[in-house]
Amino acid sequence: MATIIDGKKISLEVKAELKEKVDKLKEKNVMPCLAVILAGNNPASQIYVKNKITSCEEVGIKSLAFTFGEDVSEKQLIELIETLNADKTVDGILVQLPLPKGINEEAVCSHISDSKDVDGFSPYNVGGLVLGRDSFESCTPKGCMRLIKSTGIDICGKRAVVVGRSNIVGKPMAMMLLKENATVTICHSKTENLAEITKEADILIAAVGKAKMIKADMVKNGAVVIDVGMNRTNDGLCGDVDFENVKDVAAFITPVPGGVGPMTIAMLMSNTIKSAEKRL
């Protein structure tokens, strides 16, 4: 029976560490600040933004919320971003996706200054990760790394398999594991003999968006399994991993919900504070 990796508990530990950093910054008259832009009426986006603002309050970060309706223009959003870029008291800028129809998300987000891209999505920050430079790391894979390390496993030399090749999770996840000297394989929809590859993984990360795709017979005995998936089904939320069966094979496993999700927001706070520290 696997040990459950409690993302809620670990995220609280991270937030406690971050609060100490915020207190030290405030002693030096630096107030970390995150600006969040929400456009449209997507209910899920509204919940995500609310959770991010709540986390800011818990850690002591100042939050600025800018909300627009479905009729907002691309020009309005870009002008706001440019204003926030120029504001030296704003350390991070986040545009909550998806944006309303007709707006080019990439065009809007590309205007966020690399130094305030606390989501870690810009080509500059992604390139910095690949080159091993001190850049902002994407929040979800950064949170996954913290969860993996919480198990006490030595990542160095381990076989890691990432199922999913998205720019937001899969690719940066692979780079972070490689940085820790794991031997990394990325699998995707075109991968042949997927189960044979995943079964070799000491560390298995599932990030494909397919409910319960990873079955018990695809997992190595004693593996660390990190489930990034968040799928809505008739039975409620579930991950990309068949949790009930895989937990009997793995040594460590994250639940859905309560695993990776809370860590993503915690790492957003971490990146915002990292940006604020550069003001010293």
Catalytic center residues: 52, 96, 119
| 232 burial via Cβ count (<10 Å: 0-12, 13-18, 19+) | exposed
Alpha-carbon distance 224 to 254, whole Å? 9
Residue with tokens 């003999």: 193
Q: CA 244 to CA 216: how far, in whole Å?
A: 9
Q: Comparing C-alpha atoms, which of 18, 6, 167, 170 is closest to residue 92?
A: 18
